[in-house]
Amino acid sequence: MPELPEVEVSRLGISPHMLKQTVKQVRVHQKQLRWPVPDDVYQLEGKVINEISRRAKYLMISVDSGSVILHLGMSGNLRVVDNSVPLKKHDHVEIELENGKVLRLNDPRRFGACLWQASGEVHTSLLKLGPEPLTDDFDADYLYEKSRQKQTAIKQFLMDNNVVVGVGNIYANESLFKAGIHPKRAAGKIAKKRYHELVPIIKQTLADAIEQGGTTLKDFAQTDGKPGYFAQKLLVYGRKGEPCVNCKEPLMEIRQGQRSTVYCKNCQK
């Protein structure tokens, strides 16, 4: 699943081609995505794109009357191509611009979304989201206070979008390893000092992934079609049985919330 860095890379990739451009036409080839694509998305037509922003894993393409909200789901990706380029299988939504470019949402598994948010309103999908992890609103004091009395395992706590958005499975694995925290430890049992160590690590891990162009995942490619390169630097995720980079003991794997967790039993306490 594309995580926050991959979505941010997509935002950075499409923005130069779309900002301040006029939308010529919106074409919906498959309405049945995770939720039905509303007819409101056609409000983009004839409008100038004022902003392309991200909230959690949602991208928002905004005009004066509102925003199209895109989510990549499990297998989605965005490409900006010339409008003469033939459609690919699973190209479900197109936003064609007056400059001859077209944004295409490709989503083989159809778990992604294309929604509409009217100007001045907040879509229900965005209402209960926690702070962005790369902002000042997300700091150690906030996370410590949020964790009090929580018996939830720290890894699942970090992946709760009501606590903080965008710290998905890969980056929770990596951050906890770097901080030396066992992924099954109860969030409420972790001392404030360790949260002061963990939060900067989370921020740096996500920032590094964005800089590297997003993690190389089977279903993810940047808008130019090139995969990200951050996977080459992953320390634990996807490395079950391989030696720990610190102590050389084999890395362990467990399942938490139906997701893979890889950790070092010696280095993480």
Least confident of 13-17, 113-117, 223-227, 242-246: 223-227
Q: Is 248 annotated as a binding residue?
A: no
Token look-up 């906030």 returns 142
Q: Give a yes or no: residue 135 inside a domain.
A: no
pLDDT tens digits, one per residue of 132-188: 999 999 999 999 999 999 999 999 999 999 999 999 999 999 999 999 999 999 999
Q: Are residues 119 and 148 in the same domain?
A: no
Give the pLDDT score at 211. 85
Residue 220 has pLDDT above 60, yes or no: no
Q: Are residues 43 and 148 in the same domain?
A: no
- Angle (deg, nearest 10), helices 192-212 and 4-18: 40
Which residue range is the domain that position 60 belongs to?
4-126
Q: Are residues 48 and 94 in the same domain?
A: yes
Cα separation of 73 and 35, whole Å?
Answer: 11
Cα separation of 246 and 165, whole Å?
Answer: 29
Cα separation of 208 and 265, whole Å?
Answer: 25
Residue 188 phi, psi (nearest 5): -75, -10
Cα separation of 85 and 76, whole Å?
Answer: 19
CATH of the domain at 78: 3.20.190.10
Residue 116 has pLDDT above 80, yes or no: yes
Q: Give a yes or no: residue 132 inside a domain.
A: no
| Domain finish residue from 126, 148, 163 | 126
Q: Are residues 161 and 216 in the same domain?
A: yes
Residue 139 phi, psi (nearest 5): -140, 180
Q: Give a yes or no: residue 163 inside a domain.
A: yes
Q: Are residues 29 and 110 in the same domain?
A: yes
Catalytically active residues, by annotation:
2-3, 57, 259
Least confident of 91-95, 181-185, 222-226: 222-226
- Please choose, from the candidates 182, 193, 194, the residue with its C-alpha nearest in 3D space to the C-alpha of residue 154: 182
Q: Are residues 92 and 204 in the same domain?
A: no
Q: Is 109 annotated as a binding residue?
A: yes
- Please choose, from the candidates 20, 11, 14, 12, the residue with its C-alpha nearest in 3D space to the C-alpha of residue 81: 14
Q: Are residues 114 and 192 in the same domain?
A: no
Q: Are residues 206 and 155 in the same domain?
A: yes
Q: Are residues 167 and 246 in the same domain?
A: yes
Residue 244 has pLDDT above 90, yes or no: yes
Q: Are residues 158 and 217 in the same domain?
A: yes
Q: Are residues 108 and 178 in the same domain?
A: no
pLDDT tens digits, one per residue of 190-208: 999 999 999 999 999 999 9
DSSP β-bridge partners for residue 118 = 66
Give the pLDDT score at 230. 61
Q: Is 203 annotated as a binding residue?
A: no
CATH of the domain at 158: 1.10.8.50
Percent helix, strand, coil in the chain, to 5, is 30, 25, 45
Cα separation of 131 and 231, whole Å?
Answer: 25
Q: Give a yes or no: residue 269 inside a domain.
A: no
Give the pLDDT score at 33. 97
| Domain finish residue from 77, 93, 126 | 126
| Domain finish residue from 63, 97, 126 | 126
Q: Are residues 34 and 81 in the same domain?
A: yes
Q: Which amino acid type is present at position 44?
A: L
Higher pLDDT, 233 or 92: 92
Q: Give a yes or no: residue 172 inside a domain.
A: yes
- Total number of domains constituting the chain: 2
